[in-house]
């Protein structure tokens, strides 16, 4: 078997304040192969989003490490981790995280421009057409429905062809029918791009569509 695209190695996360120390995650250990899809499931407050942030190198573990495509994220400083994220990761959030003062096209162009990709406008335009928003290129987020905003977010995530897509409750702000449409599109894009998908979700039907389910209970990974 080839080396995993993601390896979470005995990761724990604790925070300390005046009341004492709280351990959010306890010795989480698993790996994912390229093109696998995994749902992180569990009750609210179980540590799912903290785990996703650690996998992205956006938060630092108390113990353990995360390897992304063979790179030990926590052997790097924050600037170097940011460079790895820009090169290898795409993100989709519940709240869309679009820039309000940029059009749909400009939002999708942004990661390409930051990466120095030539022909960013053409690539972003084609990606927005792929997600069904070819007529919304010049619309600002406030003029788009929730489902349209999440499709812009999907286009922005996939346009850089990331090795790994991390999604945090991607349908949490959408009604059921719109959420189903967005998820169908996400899985379709994921298959086309050959991306590894890791998604936090409360929806058992969405989780069941993934190759694996990683259940977190009280900060521990249970099988």
Residue 21: inside a domain? yes
- pLDDT-derived band at 114, boundaries 50, 70, 90: confident
pLDDT mean over 8-25: 94
pLDDT tens digits for 170-195? 888 888 888 899 899 999 998 999 99
| CA 106-112-115 angle, 5° bins | 140
Sheet (strand 6-17) strand order: 20-32, 6-17, 63-68, 71-72
Can you give the C-alpha Rg of the chain in angstroms? 17
pLDDT mean over 109-118: 90
Residue 168: inside a domain? yes
Which pLDDT score, from 0 to 100, does residue 82 have? 92
State yes or no: pLDDT of 2 exceeds 80: no
Residue 43: inside a domain? yes
Of 6-10, 48-52, 99-103, 111-115, least confident by mean pLDDT is 111-115
* Mean of all residue pLDDT scores within the chain: 93
Q: Which residue has the higher pLDDT, 103 or 175?
A: 103
User: Are 193 and 33 spatial neighbours (Cβ–Cβ below 8 Å)?
Assistant: no
State yes or no: pLDDT of 137 exceeds 90: yes
Residue 210: inside a domain? yes
Burial of residue 220 (number of CB atoms within 10 Å: 0-12, 13-18, 19+): middle
How far, in Å, CA of 198 to CA of 11, rounded? 17
State yes or no: pLDDT of 16 exceeds 80: yes
Q: Which residue has the higher pLDDT, 137 or 202?
A: 137
Which pLDDT score, from 0 to 100, does residue 175 have? 87
Packing angle, helices 146-158 and 120-130, rounded to 10? 130
Which pLDDT score, from 0 to 100, does residue 200 have? 94
- Which CATH number does the domain housing residue 19 bear? 3.40.50.300
CA torsion through residues 60, 66, 69, 72, sign: positive
Residue 1: inside a domain? no
Residue ranges making up the domain that contains 73: 6-222
With a pLDDT cut of 70, the percent of the chain lying above it is 99
How far, in Å, CA of 122 to CA of 105, rounded? 10
Which pLDDT score, from 0 to 100, does residue 165 have? 94
pLDDT mean over 90-103: 91
Residue 69: inside a domain? yes
List the structure tokens of 183.
């998820």
Residue 100: inside a domain? yes
Q: Is 44 helix (H, G, I), strand (E, B) or coil?
A: coil
Which pLDDT score, from 0 to 100, does residue 109 have? 96
Which pLDDT score, from 0 to 100, does residue 1 have? 64
Count of structural domains within the chain? 1
């Amino acid at each position: 078997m080839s080396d995993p695209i993601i390896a979470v190695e005995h990761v724990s996360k604790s925070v300390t304040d005046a009341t004492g120390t709280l351990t959010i995650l306890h010795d989480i250990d698993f790996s994912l192969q390229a093109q696998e899809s995994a749902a992180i499931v569990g009750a609210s407050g179980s540590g799912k989003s903290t785990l996703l942030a650690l996998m992205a190198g956006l938060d630092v573990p108390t113990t353990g490490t995360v390897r992304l495509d063979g790179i030990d994220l926590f052997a790097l400083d924050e600037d170097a981790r940011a460079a790895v994220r820009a090169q290898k990761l795409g993100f989709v959030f519940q709240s869309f995280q679009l820039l309000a003062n940029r059009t749909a096209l400009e939002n999708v162009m942004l990661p390409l421009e930051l990466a120095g990709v030539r022909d960013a406008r053409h690539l972003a335009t084609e990606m927005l057409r792929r997600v069904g928003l070819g007529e919304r290129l010049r619309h600002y987020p406030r003029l788009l429905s929730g489902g349209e905003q999440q499709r812009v977010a999907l286009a922005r995530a996939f346009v850089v062809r990331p090795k790994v897509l991390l999604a945090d409750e991607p349908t949490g702000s959408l009604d059921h029918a719109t959420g189903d449409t967005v998820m169908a599109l996400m899985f379709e894009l994921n298959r086309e791009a050959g991306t590894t998908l890791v998604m936090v979700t409360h929806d058992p039907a969405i989780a069941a569509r993934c190759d694996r389910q990683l259940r977190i209970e009280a900060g521990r990974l249970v099988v």
